[in-house]
Structure formats: structure tokens, C-alpha cells
Amino acid sequence: MRETALTESRPLQWLLIAAAVAFLALFLVLPLVAVFIEALHRGIEPLLATYADEDTLAAIYLTLIVAAITVPLNLVFGLAAAWAIAKFEFRGKSLLISLIDLPFSVSPVVSGLTFVLLFGAQGVFGSALDAWDIKIIFAVPGIVLATIFVTFPFIARELIPLMQEQGTSEEEAALTLGASGLRTFMTVTLPNVRWALLYGVLLCNARAMGEFGAVSVVSGHIRGLTNTMPLQVEILYNEYNFVGAFAVSALLAGLALVTLVAKSILEWRHAEGLSTGRRH
């Protein structure tokens, strides 16, 4: 490193670096390693037994289903919201931006409770739903709704700053060249945000699979039916089935690692196409 007026003295440099490394090791690396060690410390067989367990398989399946519904929906919502906010002027725009951030600022448990208050048996729409025999709370639709709510900001938040920075002149250029609105969106707007969109999808997916609080409230913890992976971890842990709990945790942690690697590759290869590329 080049010495500048801002360079600290050598001992201080080492001290600061050591403190940072120790912190990272203690709070990030150690827990992650611990998850895999706990899962594996009795060998591979109990691990495989957990994965073969019907309830665990159902939880994995449900988590994948929830993510598969949530992520595409939020992709559309996020893209639409970002497009409206970044490319058009209208009244109530700052209100809309604050609303998009709401799921970030509200505790997930509270969001879950809101859905119970709305759709639960005693809730606002409870009797109407009951009359039509539609189950939302303590069923898969509730879990999907809660997950959509909690993960809503990820894609929109990723796209808004980038789209705002890019402005509207490329779209206007396409229009003057005779392109239709849809054509302009597909050939100009979308390609310009494609890496940021992928990045947002990754984050949204990771959160959709890992969400605990809101889902816990609306799920009802029915084994084999409404348990997602994080909920399954809690149940197994509470039953003192540590190997099982850590085995499922290891899957979630593995997903987190894959997301992290994919995210790093994106940041490294396409920093100019991400609004976060410059922030990190």
C-alpha cells in the first residue's frame, strides 16, 4: 500500500486489521463452520436419515414452492414499481417509495400478525373466506402472502437507483426511432437493468427461502403441510434433534453460500450494471 497522509502507523494498522479479522471470524465464519460441523459430527448416516424424513422433505418442497411463487411475482411488482418511480413524474411518488420500504422497517412478526388480523378466522375477511371455504391463514396461501410482503422491497430497491441514474433519454431515443412502448421496454429498458435485476432476484430468493418471523405467525406449524425449512429447523431443535436441526440448517446455509458466490461474481463482473456495485 502506498503511504499517504491518511496512512496509519504500522502497529496501528496491524491492530485494526487483527480486530477486524477476529470480529469476522467470531461472528461470521465460526457460526457457519459450526453449522456444518454439528450437522456432520455423527457421520453422514443420521444426516441422510434427516433428509429422507417425510416431514423434512415436505418442508423443503414447500420452501421451494413458496420461493417459486414469490420471486416471479416480486420480479414483476418490483420491475413495475421501479419503472413507474424512475421514469415518470406523478403525485404521491415519495409516498410510494416509503411504502415500498415498509416491509424493511416493520418487524416480520408484525407483518405476519397483520395477515392473521385480515384473513384469520376472527379477522376482517375471516367469515367471508370461511363462507367460500378458502383457507389462507395456517395454509400455504398465507405463507406465500407473508413471504411476498416481506421480500417485496428487494428487487424494487435494487432497480430504482439504477433506473433513476440512467434517466429516460435512451427510451426517448427509441421512441423517436419509431419503437413502440413495449418494444422500447424489452430492447432498451430491460437490457440496461438486467444484472441489477438478477442481483435483486438472488437477494429476494435467499430471503424468501430463509424468512422465519412472518411465516411462523401465519403457518400454524402443521407438520408435513405448512412447515417451511426455517420452521422445520425450529421444530427439530425444540425436540432435541440437533443433528436434524443442523442438517436442515446446513441446507439453508449452503443456499446462502451459493447466493453469496453468485452475488460476488455479479459484483465483480458487472459492477457498472448494478446500483449496489458502487455502494459496496
Partner 1 sequence: MRKASQLGDVTDMTDTTFDFSGKPIAITAEGLAKSFLGVVAVNGIDLQVKPGELMALLGPSGSGKTTLLRLFAGLETPTAGRILFGDEDATHLPVRERRVGFMFQHYALFKHMSVAENVAYGLHVRPRRLRPSGAEIRKRAEDLLELVQLPGLGKRYPAQLSGGQRQRVALARALAVEPRVLLLDEPFGALDAQVRRDLRRWLRELHDRTGHTTLFVTHDQEEALELADRVAILNRGRLEQLGGADDILDHPATPFVAGFVGDAVRLSVSVEAGWISLGRGKVPAPFQFPAGPAELFIRPYDLTLAHSTGHGTFTGKVVGTRRVGSARRAELILEDGLPSVEVTLPLEHAVLKGEELHLNLLTMRLFPAR
Contacts with partner 1, residue ranges (CB under 8 A): 169-170, 172-180, 183, 187-188, 191-192
Pick 206 or 274: Cβ nearer partner 1: 274
Residue 196 beta carbon to partner 1: minimum distance, rounded to whole angstroms: 13
Minimum distance between the CB of residue 175 and partner 1, rounded to whole angstroms?
A: 5
Q: Determine the Cα–Cα distance for residues 238 and 52; give it in Å rounded to an integer.
A: 20
Judged by beta carbon, residue 17 or residue 190, the one nearer partner 1 is 190
Task: Compute the least distance from the CB of residue 183 to partner 1, in Å.
Answer: 6
Choose between 195 and 246: whose C-beta lies nearer to partner 1: 195
C-alpha cell at 103: 416491509
Q: Residue 189: left (phi > 0), alpha (psi -120 to 50), or beta?
A: alpha
Nearer to partner 1, 168 or 259 (CB): 168
Tell me the closest approach of the beta carbon of residue 170 to partner 1, in angstroms: 5
Under a CB-based contact definition with an 8 Å cutoff, are residues 73 and 144 in contact? no
Shortest Å, Cβ 179 to partner 1 = 4
Q: Which three-class secondary structure state does DSSP give residue 223?
A: coil
**Looking at beta carbons only, is 7 or 187 nearer to partner 1?**
187
CA atoms in the 13 A half-sphere facing the CB of 145: 20
Q: By the 8 A CB rule, do 211 and 142 touch?
A: no
CB of 273 to partner 1, least distance (A): 9
- In whole angstroms, how close is the CB of 178 to partner 1 at the nearest point? 5
* Shortest separation between residue 60's beta carbon and partner 1, angstroms: 38
Closer of 37 and 190 to partner 1 (Cβ): 190
CA distance 96 to 80: 12
Q: Letter for the amino acid at 47?
A: L
> Which residue has cell 417485496?
152
Which is closer to partner 1, CB of 91 or CB of 280?
Answer: 91
* Separation CA 115–CA 10 (nearest Å): 56
Structure letter (DSSP) for residue 120: S
- Comparing CB distances to partner 1, the nearer of 28 and 177 is 177
The angle, 0 to 180 degrees and rounded to 10, between the axes of the packed helices 44-52 and 242-269 is 90
Alpha helices in the chain (DSSP H): 10-24, 30-40, 44-52, 54-87, 93-105, 108-119, 126-131, 140-166, 169-176, 181-184, 190-210, 213-219, 229-238, 242-269, 276-279
